[in-house]
Chains A and B, each alone.
Chain A
């Protein structure tokens, strides 16, 4: 059996939703970070599927850039998390409450 465009889109939508709820529900910054990456990967899957079924190459080119951007995002994000951990000794979001009125 062959997977069609709809199957790919459903899978990518599911992955995206999984990542989104992970970002909302997880308490550990690193886990939230992984869920963010999952959302990006879900978008990538949708782009590739569209590119395949539209018959244009734009989407495939898009993917290379998304992967590069995701890598840059990991670098910046982990740097910020490390900087924060050095000051606060925690990466749990519920303990990040220094900024209040």
Chain B
């Protein structure tokens, strides 16, 4: 293989734009804008950061499909779509960063978000174990810092530490799993690994490696029983960081997970012996999905904190997304991508509402939402769209995401197969989910405001971000083929 550095450079242009943007944000903040007010510095950082994101998006759009640098990166439909999705979700997160508690070091906050986004972009296109590990670590290390960024609140540092400890353990598991896979197949390229697995079949080293990779991804996407960090991190992290952790990082994580499981290990999953043996990953992923669905939905019922409720609902959604991963083999990545992107939009929006409310007062308990329709009709309307989309009410995108994923799972093996049974379970649990989502909306839309609760003024950027997210959810719900037609 002759190294093709020009090809590598042109494929990495989106990441390069993001890193340059991060450096520019830091540089401008240290030189020209040093003496400005924190608000002005945050504005500048966000403008430069948004510009970097848009440039990166343009370059993703123009990228040539194909493999790069001997198969280290792959630019296909899934990579392109989820890179654009990550950039869009990060842009929305920038919109809600307005006036959040992270004003003390605005440039650092924005720069680290850009670095996280570049890690997530690499994750979406990685096709080699080493690059996958590095991309995941770049994104994760940035996200740990973002979670613990708010130094005025002890909860933020605690959230950062918990995220770091669990994430570090996941990274160690992933690395050990990768090393065993490398040992069993003699290669770090996913295509070569697939060839080796197809040739030699199951192998104890490979099975242990695969289990460890599954554990690591269970941690990363907050699937039960590896979900313990999620409620604490969602509760303690600054709202924009939590939005990024819950949306863009999940989208990129599932893209990478799908790429590892289907193209690399898929040769093994396709053969009947592997599928029926107890060691097959199909069953393991199905078990993770079932536990996440049940635990997430049931535990969310008992929550009084809004952010913890969103965290447990995120665990439940991770279960549904794992079901989408199972359906990739028969239906392609379309349903999974649609679900992950629209879920990300709704989550960013919900955290955006929380971020705006926190600048205006507090928003810890669900009852703090009381009277939101009087205090800010805009926020209440947007929140209703986001929550109803999470609950899966037609015609919003959340409904269609559930529909495509569940029908793909049912088509994959009929109602008697593990995937089909899981789809039925997920549909039944959607009714449970509807209850706790409606409890949130009852506070926001029906309950009267507490005495003396002032009207909330929504900053312009946050208005734009929230309305865009809500409009996209409605539009994707009406025109699902806009996303599904990509694959």
Q: By the criterion of a CB under 8 Å from any partner CB, how many residues of chain B are at the interface?
A: 44
Asked if B183 and A50 make an inter-chain contact with CB atoms under 8 angstroms apart, the answer reads yes
User: What does DSSP make chain B's interface, helix, strand, loop or mixed?
Assistant: helix
Asked whether B391 is an interface residue with its Cβ less than 8 Å from the other chain, the reply is no
- Docked complex Cα distance between A87 and B148 (Å): 12
Asked if A36 and B169 make an inter-chain contact with CB atoms under 8 angstroms apart, the answer reads yes
Asked if B182 and A101 make an inter-chain contact with CB atoms under 8 angstroms apart, the answer reads no
Task: From known contacts A36-B165, A72-B141, infer whether A83 and B157 are also in contact, taking CB-CB under 8 Å.
Answer: yes
Asked if B157 and A84 make an inter-chain contact with CB atoms under 8 angstroms apart, the answer reads yes
Of all chain B residues, the one with the shortest Cβ separation from A61 is B130
Asked whether B395 is an interface residue with its Cβ less than 8 Å from the other chain, the reply is no
Of all chain A residues, the one with the shortest Cβ separation from B235 is A99
Q: Which of B171-179, B254-262, B457-465, B472-480 contacts A (4 or more CB under 8 A)?
A: B171-179
Asked whether B266 is an interface residue with its Cβ less than 8 Å from the other chain, the reply is no
- Docked complex Cα distance between A73 and B174 (Å): 15
- Docked complex Cα distance between A36 and B232 (Å): 20
Task: From known contacts A83-B157, A99-B159, infer whether A36 and B180 are also in contact, taking CB-CB under 8 Å.
Answer: no
B residues 176-197 touching A (CB-CB < 8 Å)? 176, 178-180, 182-183, 186-188
Chain B contact residues, CB within 8 Å of chain A: 129-130, 133-134, 137, 141, 144-145, 148, 151, 154-155, 157-162, 164-165, 168-169, 171-173, 175-176, 178-180, 182-183, 186-188, 231-232, 235-236, 302-305, 308
Question: Beyond A16-B176, A65-B133: 20 further Cβ-contacts under 8 Å?
Answer: A23-B165, A36-B168, A39-B169, A39-B173, A43-B178, A47-B175, A47-B179, A49-B183, A58-B188, A62-B129, A62-B188, A66-B133, A73-B137, A73-B171, A79-B145, A80-B144, A83-B157, A84-B148, A87-B154, A96-B158
Q: Give 23 pairs: A residue, B residue, CB < 8 Å, sorted on A.
A: A16-B176, A19-B172, A32-B165, A39-B169, A39-B173, A40-B172, A42-B172, A43-B178, A59-B188, A62-B188, A72-B137, A73-B168, A76-B141, A80-B148, A84-B148, A84-B154, A84-B157, A84-B158, A87-B157, A98-B158, A99-B158, A99-B162, A99-B235
The 9 closest A-B pairs by CB, nearest first: A39-B172, A50-B183, A84-B157, A43-B175, A87-B154, A46-B179, A99-B232, A43-B176, A47-B179
